[in-house]
Amino acid sequence: MQTAKRTRGRPKDDTKRTALLDAARSLFLARGTDVTIDEVAATAGVSKATLYANFADKDSLIAAVIRRESDNTITDEEYSRFTQSRISDVLFSFGVRFVSFINNRDILGWDRLIAVLETRHSELPKRFFDLGPGRGQRLLTALIARAINQGHLKAVDADYAADALTGLWLGFTTLEIKLGARPPLTDEEIKQRVERGISIFMAVYGAETENLTDQPP
Residue 20 reports pLDDT greater than 80:
yes
pLDDT digits (tens, 9 = 90+) for 120-166: 666 777 777 787 778 889 989 999 999 999 999 999 999 999 999 99
Give which of 48, 7, 42 is closest to 23, Cα–Cα. 42
Hey, which of 18-22, 114-118, 121-125 has the most confident mean pLDDT? 18-22
For 9, phi and psi rounded to 5 degrees?
100, -175
1, part of any domain: no
| 8 A C-beta contact, residue 206 and residue 153 | yes
On whether both 55 and 93 belong to a single domain, the answer is: no
Percentages of the chain per state (helix, strand, coil), in multiples of 5 = 70, 0, 30
**Where does 32-172 have alpha helices with state H?**
37-44, 48-54, 58-71, 76-82, 87-103, 107-120, 124-131, 133-149, 158-170
Residue 68: partners with Cβ closer than 8 Å, 6 or more residues away: 21, 25
Tell me whether residue 4 is in a domain.
Answer: no
The residue range of the domain holding 36 is 14-66
Q: How far apart are CA 98 and CA 107, in angstroms?
A: 12
User: Do residues 119 and 164 both lie within one domain?
Assistant: yes
Whether this model's pTM surpasses 0.75: no
pLDDT in tens, 45-98: 999 999 999 999 988 898 888 888 777 777 778 777 777 778 888 899 999 988
Percent of the chain scored above 90 by pLDDT? 43
